[in-house]
Each structure stands twice: as C-alpha cells, then as structure tokens.
Amino acid sequence: MRSFLCRPLARLAVTLAFVVGCGFQSPPEELNADLDGWADADSLAEAYHAETEAPGLVVGAATPDTQHVHGAGTVGPEREAVPTERTVYQIGSVTKVFTGLALANMAAEGTVALDQPVSGRLPDSLSTLTAGEAPVTLEHLATHTSGLARLPDNLDPEDQTNPYAGYGEEELMAFVESAELEAGPGEAYEYSNAGAGLLGHLLERADDRPYGEVVRERIAEPLGLEDLYREPSEAPDERLARGIGGFFNEPLPPWEFDALAGAGALFGSVADLLRLGEAAAAPGETALGEALRKAQEPRFEPEDGPAVGLGWHVLEVEGREVLWHNGQTGSFGSALAVDPERGHVAVALVSSSTDPTPLVLEILEELPLGRDGA
C-alpha cells in the first residue's frame, strides 16, 4: 500500500505540520464524468483513507476541462452516509487563506493598507509592536514575518483537546501589550497562529463586524461559496462531518475559536475550496480579481522554505508556482493546492487530525493536462 503519513515530498522543500493547533451552484456537468480517467486519484484517496483510519475523507480535483470529487468512508462515527463534495469539515489553518484574501480585498478598496502599522488598528492604550523604529504591519501578520511567536504566551487552555476555547479579546490584547518580537518585522519567516489570529481580529475592527461576516460578505458571496461557516452550528447537521483525535482516536468535537478565529476557525466543503482554487487559478474571471492577485503574490522568500503571500504559501514544483496551505485541528485535517499555470486544483478534507498535503500534491501532479496541453 502506498504510504502517505511519513513519506517525504519529492522535489519539494515544504514546512508542514501547520497545526492551528478552509451561492453554491450546481456542479458542472463534467463532475465525475470519465471515471476511468480519475481512477488513480480515487485509488490514492482510498489508500490514504485506509492508512489514516479516519472515519472519512473527501478529495476534489479540477482542471480547465472538468471537476471530480471522491468520498471515502462515512461522514463520521455512527454515521453511515458517504461524505460528498458538500460535507462540511473544519478546515483549520486553511482559514488563513481566507484571512489573507480578506486583507487583500480590504486593501484593494482602500479600507486598510498592507503597510499600515498594527498600532493604527489597536486601542490607543496599548504599546506598539515594533523592533527599534520598524513597526509590525498588517502584511507582516499575513506573511508570518511579524516576529511574533507561533502561539501567544498567555494561551493556557483548561482543556487540551480544545486549546483555543475561551481565548478572547482581553487575553489577546494582554498578549500584544507584553509581546517581545523574536525577529525584526519583515526580517524572518516564523509561522505564527498568534499573528494570523491578531490579523483576523484587526480586520474585524477595521470592518466593524465579526470575522465570520467579514469572510462571508467579502469572499464567500462574491465567489459563490455557500458552505463556508464560522461556527459548526451554522451548518446543516446532516452535512457536518464528525472527526476523531487524541491518543485513542476517539470522537472529538471541533475546536472552538474566539479572538484567534482568523488563524483556524472556519468550516467548509470540498465544493467551496475547489471554487476558491479555481478563482485563484483564474482571478481575472472573478469579482475578486485584484484581491486574488494581491493575495497570491510572493512577498517573502525564506532561505529554507516556500515563499509566502497573503495567507498562501507558494511552492515551486517542477519549475511552476503552486499555491498551497494545509490545516490540522484536534479532529480534522485539510489541504488545498492550486497550480495557476495549468489551471489545476486539488483539495482534501479528512475527519481526523492528519495532514493530507502529500495526497493533495500527488493528485495535483497526476491530473490530466488541460485543453491547451499546458
């Protein structure tokens, strides 16, 4: 059996394990057409499902010609339905792609500026986040170059299986007040859930509405995404996946987020993430063209990892740029990859705390060529 869990990613230098711890129209007529041509993708998905022992997963792929979705297992423990393209999973750190795109959208319309210091969006009573004369900006938060630590130092969860629950604005502002930067702003890449969560909170303040409404009205509605939710209670119960996790792989509820929602709170479906990926591959054909282009532009290139945009990581695969992000919470895993040059998209959502990045990248690599042979 093909092994995914510890298999190295050939030709890629990727920093993985980004644990935070992603109107719906009818699918195109080509959906699941020519199944023989997608047999490899289906086999890869079944092998991954068997190896992870997750209750279920859904993989989706798209080319300029067609779209394909394959579900394996069930929607969750004690649920018999096979997951579909509209089964809803917590997408973990793929949320950061939406946070970055919301920032790009607000910057495109002039509500905020990418180079705006964070201090300009904080209460006047707080000290500024600076290193010498250099302030932390909104772009630094989106590109993980703020110098902030991976997690707030005052994050002390009562329940280790739900680590972000109860971490509210008061705790976040206390962290900002006392935070010591580990590097100067813009000098080094350091993946930071604290920074992404702070960015989501600042976008709430700038837009004067909750994070869920920010992403719904600025991203979901323009792109026709109908399965994007801030809270699991918003999703239809029959389509909400149940995940497993912990040492004994027992059923666990989704993680709860408060002030750090921008780092990993969102729930979504394969159908929605495919649509997001297709929009990223062809931004000029969408209502968010300028914002999509801003978000995808590589803005910092670490010496030992992929370049980063606003929320996206930009991998180099066989000489082409691939947009990518993954996510893991206590009972869900996700990964999304987009090859804009070929117009290819691959996504996987799984109901256990595993990282399906290897599966997604392999499916992306094996997709059939588009109409133009690119």
pLDDT tens per residue, range 266-286: 999 999 999 999 999 999 999
- The model scores a pTM over 0.85: yes
pLDDT in tens, 66-101: 899 999 999 988 888 999 999 999 999 999 999 999
Enter the DSSP assignment of 21.
-
DSSP secondary structure of 261-273: HHHH--EE-HHHH
* Tens digits of residue pLDDT in 224-253: 999 999 999 999 999 999 999 988 889 999
Q: Which stretches of 208-353 are DSSP H helices?
A: 211-215, 221-223, 261-264, 270-281, 289-296
- Name the amino acid, one letter, at 96: K
Q: Report the 10 Å Cβ neighbour count for 184.
A: 17
Place of tokens 């604290």: 194
